[in-house]
Structure 1
Amino acid sequence: MDAVIIAAGYGSRLASLSPSKPLTPVCGVPLIEIGIRQAAAAGVTRVVVVTGHRADAVEAFLADLSQRVNVAIEPVRVADWSKPNGYSVMAGASRCAGDYLLMMADHMFDSDILAALLKVGSETRDVTLAIDLDTTSPLVDPDDATWVKTNADGFISAIGKTIPVWDAVDTGAFLATPRLAEAIATAIAAGKSGSLSDGMQWLADRGRAATYEVGGAWWMDVDDPRAHALAEELAPRHLTAAFAPT
């Protein structure tokens, strides 16, 4: 199974700690390495990393990392990394022949979440998003979270940072089919900005965006110095694959 990791953005809220968000270390291990190690522990054998800001440094690190962790890593550089993240999803998806695990470089996941996602694909869904029903967790930043409203069948009815009603939070991990990139492109053609949420909403409106509830498994978004400090404290307890000796 392939994974696509989005690592192109500037990461302004972490800029005081590191010039590159994906290379920001947590307990000495860069975020992008943590993500790749956790994905490999879940069963991923090839990772496409979409780069942009400080791409040369990120890609040089990935070349070395591929040798150290024995995982095929393919960087794909986007020309304009200031565009919404849906453009990065489309770039990464273009290098995958079929379904793929989609992750954000600044999110960390218990490998159980990722392994479970790899098993939930079906003909009834074009994308499955890992969601957390604990929307008041101290690890969730309400000012930056992407919220999710689900229906009675557990499918997504609405998704976005500003939706008025929600019952879950987007963890940043997805099992995607090629239809997700197609949905983002369709949303752009209809006048949307090109965010991942635009494509997700397009699929949700058609009953094709499913969810997987993480059920207490550990994850967090490392998006600012406060979250980074929490990650340094908590991540080694939960992400054993990422911090295993090499």
Structure 2
Amino acid sequence: MNLVILAAGKNTRLDTGIPKSLVTLNGETLMSRHIRIFKACGVEKFCIISGYGSNKLQAALPLLSKTHNADITILHNERFDLENGFSVFRAKEWVEKNGMNDFFLTMGDHVFDPDFVNEFVEKSSSLENTLQLAVDMPGESNKHIDIDDVTKVLVDSDGFIDSIGKTIPDYNRYDTGLFRLKAEVFNTFQKSFDNEEYTISESVSKLMAGREAKSVLVEGYTWNDVDNPDDLQSTINLMDQNLL
């Protein structure tokens, strides 16, 4: 198993002078936490997509590799001014070079309960769709989520994704920012780019039409997106409560 971590964003809402993935919480950077948790779930190779502050991520690589005894590659996305789908596409050469049939994908500024990750790894292994997205049911365990900023998902009774976006009026799930993708997904991203569509959600929408985008419900665990100062504080609070 292999993981791509997107860490190219410009940090316009949480500008600490470093990539958000290098923010330290409870003595550990968010990036180090990702590598520790996913390696424990069986991930063997990691690819970090850098952009803003790429030199600082590169400087952190030796310690990350040594601490976790992990195979970590950093690829720089020079167009980090574009949306996150373009950063996903930057991993194409790494996926192809290593002969991967599929890979996991997450964001460097997300935080997951280790049991959340483990359940998604187990549940996604038996699915055959091009894209599998870990979703959560709105409820008590995610009441801290910023409802205006979270990506919302509408899924049907079979778990297929019918709609996705931050402003869709009807939804029954939250996008948690954790995916399992087949390598062929890069063809869909290229089609999106041809239409000047650069978000992950826009490529998911294209896969929806062919019933190739399916949700995987993982509920009852804590997760968060550290996107702004309020998110940072809520994550600290969750860690203080031993919920993360």
Aligned to 1:197: 201
| 80-89 or 20-29, larger mean C-alpha shift | 20-29
Does 1:46 pair with 2:45? yes
Q: What is the alpha-carbon distance in structure 2 between the residues aligned to residue 62 and residue 160 of structure 1?
A: 33
Q: What is the alpha-carbon distance in structure 2 between the residues aligned to residue 92 and residue 63 of structure 1?
A: 20
Q: Give the TM-score normalised by the residue count of structure 2.
A: 0.91
The structural deviation recorded for 1:85 is 0.6
Mapping of 1:101-140 within 5 angstroms?
101-119=104-122, 120-122=124-126, 124-134=128-138, 137-140=142-145
Q: What is the alpha-carbon distance in structure 2 between the residues aligned to residue 123 and residue 116 of structure 1?
A: 14
The structural deviation recorded for 1:56 is 0.7
Which ranges of structure 2 fall in alignment gaps of 5 or more residues? none
Aligned to 1:243: none
User: 1:135–1:167: 8 Å Cα contact kept in structure 2?
Assistant: no
**CA RMSD between the two structures:** 1.7
Q: Give the TM-score normalised by the residue count of structure 1.
A: 0.90
Q: Which amino acid aligns with 2:11?
A: G
Task: Give the 3-state SS of the residue equivalent to 2:90 in structure 1.
Answer: helix
User: 1:181–1:199: 8 Å Cα contact kept in structure 2?
Assistant: no
Aligned to 2:161: 156
Aligned to 2:151: 146
User: 1:47–1:74: 8 Å Cα contact kept in structure 2?
Assistant: yes
Q: Which amino acid aligns with 1:4?
A: V
Give CA deviations for 1:127-173 in whole Å, capped at 9, x if unaligned: 11000111673321122111101012111011111222111110000
Structure 2 vs 1, CA of residues 9 and 238 (structure 1 numbering), >3 Å: closer, same or farther?
same
Which ranges of structure 1 fall in alignment gaps of 5 or more residues? 240-246
Aligned to 1:13: 13
The runs of at least 4 aligned residues of structure 1 exceeding 4 Å deviation read none
Aligned to 2:223: 219
Q: What is the alpha-carbon distance in structure 1 between the residues aligned to residue 62 and residue 174 of structure 2?
A: 33
Q: Which amino acid aligns with 2:51?
A: G
Task: Give the 3-state SS of the residue equivalent to 2:117 in structure 1.
Answer: helix
Give the count of matched residue pairs.
237
Identity %: 30
Does 1:180 pair with 2:203? no
User: 2:18–2:56: 8 Å Cα contact kept in structure 1?
Assistant: no
Structure 2 vs 1, CA of residues 135 and 183 (structure 1 numbering), >3 Å: closer, same or farther?
farther
